[in-house]
Structure 1
Amino acid sequence: MPTNPVNPRRVADAGGAGGAGVPTSADVARRANVSRATASYVLNGVTSQKISEKTRNAVRLAAAELGYRPNLAAQSLATGASKIVLFVIPYVHLGELATLISSHLTARTAEQGMTVIVHFEGPASRAVIDAARDLRPRLVLSMFSLDDETATWLRERDIMMTTIFPDTGLATAVNEPPEWLQVEYLVGIGHRQIGYADTCEPGLAMLAQMRHRGVVDACRARSLPAPAYEQFSLDGAGAEHKVRSWVAGGVSAVAAYNDEVAITVLAGIRRAGLRCPEDLAVIGVDEMAINGSMEPPLSSIEFDTDAIAVHYAEVFADILNGRETPRREASSSRFLRVVERESTGMLRRHPDSILSRSDWFQFSKEPH
């Protein structure tokens, strides 16, 4: 079937959802010399209609020549199956982690023909239910577990859910949480009495509780004393007194809630006239870009955000394409690694050092 010559003015003046300068399905229909209904069926992948392959090819060629992009909401209505993933980011300070994961996830899911829409929760934001009602996503991915009302609403409408860091204490795609790796690493280089430096920032209580519980559980699993607990404000108030108390009580290493808290602990060590790592070793979480510029340079746990994105993109593709999702290997070696710097130094390694079991996690020592 011959196609009509492109009329740039017609395309530029086209109305509809696309707006000025954006080709619509009506433009594709005119270009392919077919009805709008036929063009819509082809563009939305509807296979229940009897349309010849010649006509389908003509529509596809017209769409390619015009640079047409499908309207995802209209496509989901036409086919009854959406390729939208709604990624819910909570109203908590997650540093660069949420941005990096969403960026990598957007790119990786696009390779699978899906679109990620990020929904930021907040005091004035729309509820997840409202966003899902309008967007009709096939999947909802959340950084943390959704509330019961939202989860029930999604489940009743057959919208699948998955969570990167569920508050269940069970292994997930990230398997052993970062706080477990902090403890395992510190034990592996010889520490036996560990302190935990928590955040006191508002809005972080949920994640803070999860990480504190993780450190407690990891110490118990290694038959260590319960971690000595202190909270730190990012302005450093009282940090030197808390650090002195730790050292006086025999604590030799600190696992911090994140890198910002770890940097506050480093400041407390300096103010107390102590040395890091000789008097107190410190390791954070998140691997911020500034860590190597700290004094001393800060060791941390790094998330491989691209590997996390690849993992979920593969799972999403299986679900969206109607394939049974296989049980995917999700060992922490794929998603987390220790980045060692001077803040933890190198003590005598024990025979049961976690570093000797390379299948548990990747170990990276930066050149000094």
Structure 2
Amino acid sequence: MSDQARKRRLTSVDVAREAGVSRATVSYVLNDTPNQRIPEATRRRVWDAVDRLGYAPSAAARSLRSGRSEVVLALLPDWPFGRMVGAMLEQLAVALADVGLIFVAHPRAGSRRPVAEIWKAISPAAVLTWDPIEPADQAAMRAAGVKVTVGLFQRGDAGGLAVSEQRTGRLQAEHLAARGHRRLGYAFPDDERVLVFAEPRLAGVRSACAELGLDPPDVRTVRIDRPSAVAAVRQWTAGPDPVTAVCAYNDEVAVAVLGGAREVGVSIPTDLAVIGVDDLPLSAIVDPALTTVATDSGGLAAYLAAAVIAGLADEPAPRYPGSDIVELIVRDSA
């Protein structure tokens, strides 16, 4: 090809010219069109031309030909994304790519554009959100050709990711109660952006305490800094009936509690047991090593991919994994 041709965007016409076939033949080969008898030697010539030219058909063109978008759009909320969510997004992208779908994640943090403008501009086949999807928004997406909508968090007890988050809190409280602790504290985060996680986890702790005949947890907000952690530990351990174990929102908050306990002179786990969430790498190397609850990000990614694929194929949605994707990891802190 000429240098001028290489500077412009390659098209199927260029592939056809390079392979010495018609443009229709290129289309049949690239789209694996059924009921078209293309000799194997011709197919090889087309794919060899694609490789030589570095040709990649646009998503828009493929959508027009197939009548369906190949894009799965994830609308990411305004969160500080941790290790688990990052791993889940990577695994989800791989799972969708394996079936020919393109995963696009759009962070909403700092975005001034309405959500509707985002999905309308991309015209995806499916939309994933962490926030509940309003019925009116679902209807608008359906009318625009979005075939699948998945909201990870649903309101109330309707299901979704909140189910496994509640199970996370229950696992924390059940483990501490099994170790003989009767007065539990809860280290709540000070970041409103993560309330969608923190509230169901705390609800799980409260529910477990009620079922086990324990007092409600002593909830205190703990920032990830020394003064806040020190103040919380002092309040938990003061008085004639002190808290003897703390469920922390996540591992980072739990490590702050460990630091506050060290500053106050409270021994972990003898005087105060601590359990976190997320199984961050630091949880295994702090002293004492942190007991925590881990979420199987791969299992969650597999569920989401299966839900999208089933929806696009008009098949029943898979069963949500629920408590199957959370696991207690026992170390030295509790």
TM-score in terms of structure 2 length: 0.85
Cα offset, 1:158, TM superposition: 4.6
Report the Cα offset of residue 242 of structure 1.
Answer: 2.0
Cα 1:161/1:221, change in 2 over 3 Å: farther
Q: 2:60 aligns with which of 73, 78, 93?
A: 73
1:258 is aligned, of 238, 241, 250, to 250
**CA pair 327-206 structure 1, distance change in 2 beyond 3 A:** closer
Q: Quote how far apart the aligned CAs of 1:230 are.
A: 0.2
1:15 and 2:8 matched: yes
- Equivalent pair of 1:173/1:330 in contact (CA under 8 Å): no
Query: Counterpart of 2:223 in structure 1: which amino acid?
Result: S
Match of 1:230 among 220, 229, 248: 220
Q: Select between 32-41 and 300-309 the one with higher mean Cα deviation.
A: 32-41
Higher mean Cα deviation, 133-142 or 38-47? 38-47
1:256-295 residue pairs with structure 2 within 5 A? Answer: 256-295=248-287
State the alpha-carbon separation in 1 of the partners of residues 285 and 215 from structure 2.
32
Count of paired positions: 326
Q: Is the counterpart of residue 198 in structure 1 residue 183 in structure 2?
A: no
CA distance in 2, matches of 1:133, 1:146: 16
- Aligned match for 2:205, one of 205, 211, 215: 215
Indicate if the aligned counterparts of 1:144 and 1:167 stay in contact, CA closer than 8 A. no
- In 1: Cα distance, 2:161 partner to 2:46 partner: 42
Aligned-partner Cα distance in 2 for 1:213–1:119: 30
Instruction: Describe the shift of the 1:70–1:328 C-alpha distance in structure 2 as closer, same or farther (beyond 3 A).
Output: farther
- Separation in 1 of the partners of 2:178 and 2:13? 65
Q: Residues 91 and 312 (structure 1 numbering): CA distance in 2 closer, same or farther, change over 3 Å?
A: same
Higher helix share: 2
Equivalent position amino acid for 2:103 in 1: V
Show structure 1 runs of 5+ residues with no match: 1-6, 17-22, 345-368
**8 Å contact kept, 1:140–1:161:** yes
Is contact 1:44-1:70 (8 Å) kept? Answer: no
TM-score (norm 1): 0.78
- Structure 2 counterpart of 1:360: none
Verify: 1:296 aligned to 2:288, yes or no: yes
- 1:102 maps onto 2:94 in alignment: no
The 1:119–1:252 alpha-carbon spacing in structure 2 relative to 1, beyond 3 Å, is same
- More divergent stretch after superposition (167-176 vs 279-288): 167-176
Cα RMSD between the aligned structures? 2.8
Residue 62 (structure 1) aligned with residue 53 (structure 2): no
Of the candidates 291, 307, 310, which is equivalent to residue 315 of structure 1? Answer: 307
Q: Which moved more, 1:310-319 or 1:289-298?
A: 310-319
2:315 pairs, out of 317, 324, 344, with 324
Cα 1:31–1:169 change in 2 (3 A) is same
Secondary structure of 1:176's aligned partner: helix
Report % sequence identity. Answer: 31
- Residue 85 (structure 1) shift: 0.9
Does 90-99 or 54-63 show the bigger shift? Answer: 54-63
